[in-house]
Amino acid sequence: MSARLPVACLLLSGCAGAQSALDPGGDQAQALFSLFALMMWVCGVVYVVVVAALGWALWRAWRQRGADARGDGDATHRTDGRLRRLLPVAAGAILIGLTVLITGSFLADRALFATRAAPALEVRVTGHQWWWRIRYRDPASGGWTETANELHLPQGRTVRLVLESADVIHSFWVPGVAGKLDMIPGRTNRLDVTARRAGWYRGQCAEFCGLQHAHMALAVKVEPSDAFRTWLAAQAAPAGRAAGRGGAVFATVCAACHAVRGTAAGGRAGPDLTHVAGRRTLAAGTLTMTRGNLQGWIAQPQAIKPGTSMPAVPLTPADADAVAGYLAGLR
Ligand code: HEC
Ligand SMILES: [Cu+2]
């Protein structure tokens, strides 16, 4: 084996990862990656040819100066004739190169927006400053199951993502699964995705949407269909936990903005918290999900994510502890 492979591996090792467009885990990401590779190759060849031509021209000029100094200047006239004959070849190469690029991008675009299989599932994703509201449509009953900040996708199935915004322009982008598409207030955009490789991916709002734009990440889990169905059924179920003191505090100061299905809390201004502790991250990827981080977030949301629409609610230490304990049990 040549020495080129290890070198290439070393150079490309930065390209893998949960948020990389160069490590495709689904059909749409694959189509975009293929287009990227095609453009890299075509433009790479053009670059090499142009640099070689430049080198040749410099070398010629240098040789010409030498010839002039010796007093025999016809060499250039001969090469000028050859250059003129080369011109149609260069024009043809440019035409072919551009045609290849245009065809490639046309085909990639078709692959993204013309899914043959009817989508198995519809998921509505709504961008908010600065979090994601996610609703799954139950194919059987037509009912909706709401969650937030963590998108689950069944492996090998085509899912139609219906993208909307509640406030400003956001952009849905999970590079490992699909290309990006804007979420525009008053408009509905559709993105079909077919994830192939199971595992965790990371998405990120890709349109500057205010102060905490960088803290608007999306955890994405691609899992086998059976596991996905089990997960969705669990999400659809109401909170299975007796409320106790934490629940009572929640009902008085948090329920205006947050819903916990199965209780009286039905607020819609913030994320649905019915199964919040089952999520991997907190506040759209800002913190990992632990009881300590839950408590910290509740105590000081404005310190952790300045400008967020969640206010710091004054609570006694005992009440804060009880609410955090209550939420940590909502799995
Ligand atoms: C005025 C409305 C409002 C009130 C009151 C409110 N929240 Fe929030 N909450 C929000 C919003 C909006 C977010 C999303 C913030 C973000 O990620 O930028 C949020 C996020 C959260 C999250 C993170 C959810 C996730 O999916 O990661 C938790 C947990 C939470 N709130 C708990 C509480 C608790 C507990 C209380 C009561 C002590 C409370 N909130 C009071 C609006 C509110
Ligand atoms: Cu955004």
Write out pLDDT tens, residues 160-184.
999 999 999 999 999 999 989 999 9
Residues with CB under 6 A from ligand 1: 130-131, 148-149, 250, 253-254, 256-258, 269-271, 273, 276, 279, 282-284, 294, 297-298, 305, 308-311, 313, 323, 327
Q: Is residue 79 part of a domain?
A: yes
Q: Are residues 28 and 105 in the same domain?
A: yes
CA dist 329 and 331 (Å) reads 6
CA dist 81 and 92 (Å) reads 18
CA dist 325 and 245 (Å) reads 10
Q: Which of 189, 224, 259 is the last residue of a domain?
A: 224
Q: What is the pLDDT of residue 66?
A: 81
pLDDT of residue 14 exceeding 90:
no
Q: At 211, is the pLDDT very low, low, confident or very high (cuts 50, 70, 90)?
A: very high
Q: What is the pLDDT of residue 73?
A: 56
% of the chain residues with pLDDT over 70: 92
Q: Are residues 203 and 256 in the same domain?
A: no
Angle between helices 27-70 and 75-113 (to 10 degrees): 170
Q: What is the pLDDT of residue 10?
A: 54
Q: Are residues 29 and 173 in the same domain?
A: yes
Q: Are residues 109 and 81 in the same domain?
A: yes
Q: Is residue 230 part of a domain?
A: no
Q: Are residues 116 and 53 in the same domain?
A: yes
Question: 130 CA to middle of ligand 2, Å?
Answer: 6
Q: Are residues 293 and 265 in the same domain?
A: yes
Q: What is the pLDDT of residue 298?
A: 96
* Under 8 Å between Cβ of 299 and 312: yes
Q: Are residues 187 and 307 in the same domain?
A: no
Scanning the chain, the segments in alpha helix (DSSP H) are 4-12, 27-70, 75-113, 225-236, 244-253, 291-299, 301-304, 317-328
Q: Is residue 187 part of a domain?
A: yes
Domain count, the chain: 2
pLDDT of residue 1 exceeding 80:
no
- Average of pLDDT values for 320-327? 94
Q: What is the pLDDT of residue 142?
A: 84
Q: Are residues 255 and 219 in the same domain?
A: no
Residues near 197 by beta carbon (within 8 Å), at least 6 away in sequence: 25, 26, 155, 222
Q: Is residue 90 part of a domain?
A: yes
CA dist 273 and 181 (Å) reads 27
pLDDT of residue 18 exceeding 50:
yes
* Under 8 Å between Cβ of 266 and 146: no
Q: Are residues 249 and 218 in the same domain?
A: no
Q: Are residues 133 and 275 in the same domain?
A: no
Ligand 1: nearest atom to the Cα of 323: 35
More confident residue, 117 or 131: 131
- Average of pLDDT values for 279-303? 96
- 29-38 pLDDT tens trace: 999 999 999 9
Least confident among 5-14, 28-37, 89-98: 5-14
Q: Are residues 173 and 250 in the same domain?
A: no
Whose atoms come closest to the Cα of 286: which ligand?
1
- Average of pLDDT values for 243-267? 92
Question: 121 CA to middle of ligand 1, Å?
Answer: 28
CATH code of the domain containing 257: 2.60.40.420
Look at residues 251, 244, 292, 288 and name the one whose alpha carbon lies nearest to residue 273.
251
- Average of pLDDT values for 289-306? 96
Q: At 11, is the pLDDT very low, low, confident or very high (cuts 50, 70, 90)?
A: low
CA dist 274 and 268 (Å) reads 12
Q: Are residues 204 and 251 in the same domain?
A: no
Q: What is the pLDDT of residue 31?
A: 93
* Under 8 Å between Cβ of 174 and 141: no
Q: Is residue 238 part of a domain?
A: no
Domain holding 30, by residue range, is: 17-224
